Amino acid sequence: MAVTSASVTEPDRPARVSGIDKIERRRVALAESALKTLGELGYARTSLREIANNSEFTHGVVHYYFRDKIDLISYCVRYYKTKCARRYDEVVETATSGEELVTGFLAKMTQTLVDETPMHKLWYDLRAQSMFEEQLRLDVEAIDKLLEEMIWRILGRYADLTATTPTVDAPTAYALVDGLFEQAVVGYAANPDKTPDLLTDRLLQVLPKLVAA
């Protein structure tokens, strides 16, 4: 039988949307609960049961909302990195000079290095695992693209404020900045006192070379 407009009542639509919202809210709550365990143990050592044991949720609840470990970890990292990509928006929007933009950008980057090292370690762990786990690749590619666009927005705004033009394309800019940040994440465990300043110094060397008059 063909579905007509009368077959779907108006009350049905909000009900379905509400159901989707409720599921998504629960998935977000599970992700927030799981991130601490994931950050501490890493990809290989974490299971759904381990996550459940370290949260307020039962193993059955976790498994109900996520089909397996990869599904949960991919969701967690997407959720976290989406927030990361947005944390620089205010700096980009409010900076009135190139110096102010760079200062704000570096302050936020070193802060997240110090405050959220386990989450960044998890991301780089997941990205490395995607070379072996095909199921992870699409999510990793999507996150990488999101972060690349973030760096490109910052560089584009810097170029506007300094009346210059980027000398590299978006993937290259992202690779350079992300490479320095990944080194800092690795180095922070061994030398937490000096690594944030070292990251700042290296970025200050690189950023001006990414644009030219």
pLDDT at 7 over 60: no
Report angle CA 81, 86, 90 to the nearest 5 degrees. Answer: 155
If you average pLDDT over residues 176-184, what whole number do you get? 97
pTM for this entry:
0.80
Nearest to 137 by CA among 147, 123, 127: 127
Give the count of beta carbons closer than 10 Å to the beta carbon of residue 25.
10
Give the pLDDT score at 81.
Answer: 83
48-83 residue pLDDT tens:
888 888 778 888 888 888 888 888 888 888 888 888
More confident position, 202 or 71: 202
* Percent of the chain's residues with pLDDT above 90: 47
Which amino acid does the sequence have at 131? M
Give the pLDDT score at 24.
Answer: 86
pLDDT at 163 over 90: yes
Which amino acid does the sequence have at 154? I
By the 10 Å C-beta count (0-12 exposed, 13-18 middle, 19+ buried), 187 is classed as middle
DSSP at 45: T
Mean pLDDT, the chain, as a whole number? 85
pLDDT at 193 over 90: yes
Residue 85 near residue 149 (C-beta atoms within 8 A): yes
75-125 residue pLDDT tens:
888 888 888 888 899 999 999 999 999 999 999 999 999 998 888 888 898
CB-based burial, 30-69: b 16+ in 10 Å, e otherwise? bbebbbebbbebbbeebbbebbbebbebeeeebbebbeeb
DSSP at 2: P
Give the pLDDT score at 209.
Answer: 94
If you average pLDDT over residues 160-168, what whole number do you get? 96
